[in-house]
Amino acid sequence: MPTLTFHGHSCFVLEHGGKRVIFDPFLSGNPKADVKPTDLPHLDGVLVTHGHADHLGDAVAIAKQHAATLVAPYELALYCGDRGVEDANGMGIGGSREFPFGHVKLVAAVHGGVVEGEASGGKGGYTSFPCGFVVTMGGQHVYHAGDTALTLDMQLLEGQVDVMCVPIGDHYTMGPEDAARAVGFVKPRVAIPMHFGTFPAIDTDPKRFQSAVGARAEVVVLQPGQTYSF
C-alpha cells in the first residue's frame, strides 16, 4: 500500500515496497517543515518541479547524500548535475520513464523556472519550463501538480490519476476555486491541497478548497508530518 507523507509547502515523500521518492524538498528555511534534510529516511528518488527556492530547496544536497536519482525538467537537471548530482535525469514535458522506484511522467505546468538566491550565487538564472509529475508506484497514480495555474491540459489526465496533490495558495498559483476546477478536470479519487499557509501571501484556508471541490473527490488535508495511505 503506497503512502504519502507531507513535510510542508509542496514537499511529500511517496513510499511503496521499500522504495521512497521525495517531491520538491524545501525543508531548510521552510517555517512549516516538520523535518530537517538530515532526518529523512533513505531516498531512491528526488523529483523537482522547477527551480524556485521553495521547490528546488535541498534537492541537490539530498540527492548527493542518498546517492538518489534526481528527476527534473532537462535544463534544471543539468543545473543540478553541474553541482555534483551524479544521477541527474533531465526529461521533457510529456516524456516518461521507468525507474527502479516507479514510473515517472512529466506533465505541463504554467509557472516560472528561475533558480533563485544562494543556489544561483544570488544572481538567479532561468533553468527550464516547470512541470508536474505523475508517478506510478504500487499500481497507484499520484499527480503532483507543482506550481501551476489552472490549465485545460489537465483534462488530458482524466482517468489516469488516483491521488492529486494540488496547489491552492493563490497569488503565485491557483487559488482554491481554480484548484477545485482542476480537480474536476482530472477527476482523481483523492485531492490533497498543498502550497498554502507557508507565507502570508499564500495563507489560504483549505476549507475553501474542500467546499469548492464538494463531491467531485475526497479531500484530505494533511498537516506536516502526517501520512496518507491509499
Task: Show the 3-state SS of 70-96.
Answer: EEEEHHHHHHHHHCCCCCEEEECCCCE
Indicate the domain borders of the chain. 3-222
Per-residue confidence (pLDDT) for residue 128, from 0 to 100: 78
Per-residue confidence (pLDDT) for residue 113, from 0 to 100: 85
Tell me the per-residue pLDDT of 123-158, one tens digit each, with 9 for 90 and over: 666 677 899 999 999 999 999 999 999 999 999 999
pLDDT exceeding 70 applies to what percent of the chain?
Answer: 95
Q: What is the mean pLDDT of residues 175-199?
A: 98
| DSSP symbol at 160 | S
**42 burial type by CB count under 10 A (0-12 exposed, 13-18 middle, 19+ buried):** exposed
> Is residue 219's pLDDT more than 70?
yes
Per-residue confidence (pLDDT) for residue 143, from 0 to 100: 99
Per-residue confidence (pLDDT) for residue 115, from 0 to 100: 83
Per-residue confidence (pLDDT) for residue 126, from 0 to 100: 66
**What are the CA-CA distances from residue 160 to residues 154, 156, 188, 211, 228 (Å)?**
11, 9, 8, 24, 19
> Is residue 121's pLDDT more than 80?
no
**38 burial type by CB count under 10 A (0-12 exposed, 13-18 middle, 19+ buried):** exposed
Give the class (CATH, top level) of 3-222.
alpha beta
Question: Which residues lie below 8 Å from residue 221, measured CB to CB, with a gap of 6+?
Answer: 192, 193, 206, 210
Report d(CA 89, CA 40) in Å as an integer.
22
pLDDT band at residue 216, thresholds of 50, 70 and 90?
A: very high
> Is residue 122's pLDDT more than 60?
no
Per-residue confidence (pLDDT) for residue 198, from 0 to 100: 98
pTM to 2 decimal places: 0.96
